[in-house]
A = this chain, B = another copy of it.
Amino acid sequence: MSPSGMECFVGPLGGVGHRVPTVPIGEGRITVADLGEFGLIAALAARMPQGPGTVIGIGDDAAVLAAPDSRVVATMDLLVEGRHFRRDWSGPVDIGGKAAAQSLADIAAMGAAPTALIVGLAVPSDLPVVWAEDLATGLAQECARAGASVAGGDIAEAATIVLAVTALGDLAGAAPVTRAGARPGDLVAVAGSLGHSAAGLALLRAGLAEPASLVAVHRWPRPPYDAGPEAARLGATSMIDISDGLGQDLGHVAAASGAGIDIESARLEPDQALRAAAAALGGLDPLDWVLAGGEDHALAVTFPPGTDLPERWVVIGQVDEGSGVRLDSRPSGRLSGWNHFR
C-alpha cells in the first residue's frame, strides 16, 4: 500500500536502541523487519546530520532546502544490487559513498555546488540494520566531502536492494554549463582520474585485490566536485561527468554541440597503478580503461582556446569541425563505453 518514508519520521526515537526483547542479541542480527519502518528511519537519520542549507530536513512530508540562486539543479541516479554493486565486492559504507558520488558528480558537471541528497532505499526485510546504517554513513561522508547533506527520502521493501539518489545543487549565479556549447578550436580537458574504477572492477572480477588504490576507486569514486564550479568560472563551454567512459561521454558532448572531438592518446598515458593492473591481468592494454572505463566520475570540459588552466586540468584533445569522437585523428572502437540493457 502506501509508502511514506523518511519524510514521515516521527516514530520511535533512538533506532537500534529500540530493540524488541525477542530479537537475538548481536548488532548484525537485527533486521529492518525487527526495527520497523520508523525505527529504521530514525537509525538512518541519526547517521546523516543535517546541513546548513537544510531549512526542514528528515521528518516531514517533504524537505525544504535553500536555493539561493533561485534556480535548482536536480538529478537522479539509480543503483541496483547485482547490476551496479555487489554486496560481496563492496561494503555498505563504500556503496553509500559511491551512490552519493555518482549523483553529486552530475551536479558538479553543470557547474553547480551540491547542496543536498534525497535518498530512496528499497531493501529486503531480512537486511541487517547495521548494513543500512553503514550505507547511511557512506552517504553522509561523501555528502560532507561535497558540501552537501542528506535531507530526506523514502524506504520500502523489495527483494533486492535498490538505491535512488536525487542530488540537488546551486549555481550561485553562474550559467549552467551544458553538453551543447563546445566550439571548434576549444580545448578538451579533464579533471580527476580516468580508468581507475574500470581497472578496479577488472581486478575484482579476476579475484585480485592489488593495486588496492584501483579497487578502492571502483568501490568509492571521489569526484573532484569543486572542479565543476571552477570550470564554469574559467569559461567552460561544455561539461560532462564521465560516468559511462571517456569516449562515450565525449560522444554526447560532440553530438549535443554539433562538433567533433579529437583526443590524443599520448596525453592519456596510463599511470603506474593502471599499468600494474594490466600486467597482473595478463598483459591488457591499460589505455582501454582510460578510454572506455566509466565510474571514476572525472569531469570532461571544453574551454576556449588559450584558457589558462590550473594544474589539475589535463588537456587531452581539441574540438573541431567534424563529428563524433576520434582518437589520434581516427575513429576507434576503443572509445566505446557502458550501455544498459545489453
Given A3-B243, A243-B2, answer yes or no on A340-B83 (Cβ-Cβ < 8 Å): no
Note all chain B residues with C-beta closer than 8 A to A59: 179, 256
Name A10's contact: one of B36, B152, B153, B179 (CB within 8 Å).
B179
Whether A72 and B168, one on each chain, are in contact in the complex, defined by CB atoms closer than 8 angstroms, is yes
**Across-interface contacts of A65 in B (CB, < 8 A):** 71-74
Residue among B68, B116, B176 making CB contact with A55, cutoff 8 Å: B176
Most buried by B among A7, A36, A239, A294: A7
B110:A61 contact, CB within 8 angstroms:
yes
If A3-B84, A152-B74 touch, whether A341 touches B37 (CB-CB below 8 Å) is yes
Q: Is A79 an interface residue (CB 8 A)?
A: yes
Contact: A119 with B10, CB < 8 Å? no
Prevailing SS type, chain A contact patch: mixed
Residues of B within 8 A of A32 (CB): 341
Proximity string of chain A (331-342) to chain B, C-beta cutoff 8 Å, 1 when within and 0 when not: 000000011111
The reply to whether B76 and A166 contact each other, CB–CB distance below 8 Å, is yes
**Cα distance A71–B72 when bound, in Å?**
9
Q: Which of A4, A118, A151, A256 has the most CB of B within 10 A?
A: A4
How many Å lie between the Cα of A271 and that of B252 in the bound state? 55
| Bound Cα distance from A69 to B83, whole angstroms | 39
Nearest CB in chain B to that of A242: its residue: B2
Q: Across the interface, do B164 and A80 meet the contact criterion of CB distance under 8 Å?
A: no
* A255 contacts chain B at the CB level, 8 A cutoff: yes
Complex A-B: 28 CB contacts under 8 Å: A1-B338, A3-B78, A5-B77, A7-B106, A33-B342, A35-B341, A36-B342, A55-B176, A60-B176, A62-B73, A62-B74, A64-B73, A64-B74, A66-B70, A66-B71, A74-B151, A75-B152, A76-B119, A76-B153, A76-B166, A78-B155, A78-B162, A83-B156, A118-B166, A122-B162, A156-B340, A159-B160, A164-B164
